[in-house]
Amino acid sequence: MKKNKGFTLIELLVVIAIIGILASVIFTSLTGAREKAQRTATIANMKGVITPLSVCKDDEGSGYTDAIPTAGATFVCQDAVTGNVVKTGHEDIFWPTLSGGWAYNIPTGLLSDDTYQFTASKAGQTDVVCTTSTGACN
């Protein structure tokens, strides 16, 4: 009688099932890491706007915009009333494009202590809020 060398069909199916389970666990954890990376990128992009916004306000005394910024099309130093670009040396800086489904909201605007606050949101995520007086986004 000849001995068959190799794996049975059951053994192969068990190995394939184990590989499938491990792959699903890995992909699930990668999704969470991707969301965190997109949030971190959004915060970094929004922090880059704080200094030009402060310079616009301090140098030119123009109001902050209260419209939703269009990423890549709305200048950071754009007068809220006239829509003209304010000349401060930062006039060529646009609101940055946000990654991974993040979008700007209508800015909270000017707070009582001459602080400007703007936010971005994404479905299922906590909003990112940036404030010019503290220079922080969270």
Q: pLDDT digits over 119-135, tens only?
A: 899 998 999 998 888 88
- Enumerate residues 6+ apart whose C-beta is below 8 A from 76: 49, 52, 53, 56, 90, 93, 94, 95
Q: At 3, is the secondary structure helix, strand, or coil?
A: coil
For residues 15 and 105, the model is more confident at: 15
Q: Are 44 and 70 in contact (CB under 8 A)?
A: no
Identify the band that residue 19 occupies on the pLDDT scale cut at 50, 70 and 90. Answer: very high
Residues 20-62 pLDDT 10s: 999 999 988 888 888 899 999 999 988 888 887 777 766 655 5
103 burial level (CB within 10 Å; 0-12, 13-18, 19+): middle
Which run of H or E residues covers position 116? strand 116-121
What are the boundaries of each domain within the chain? Answer: 11-137
What pLDDT score was predicted for residue 12? 95
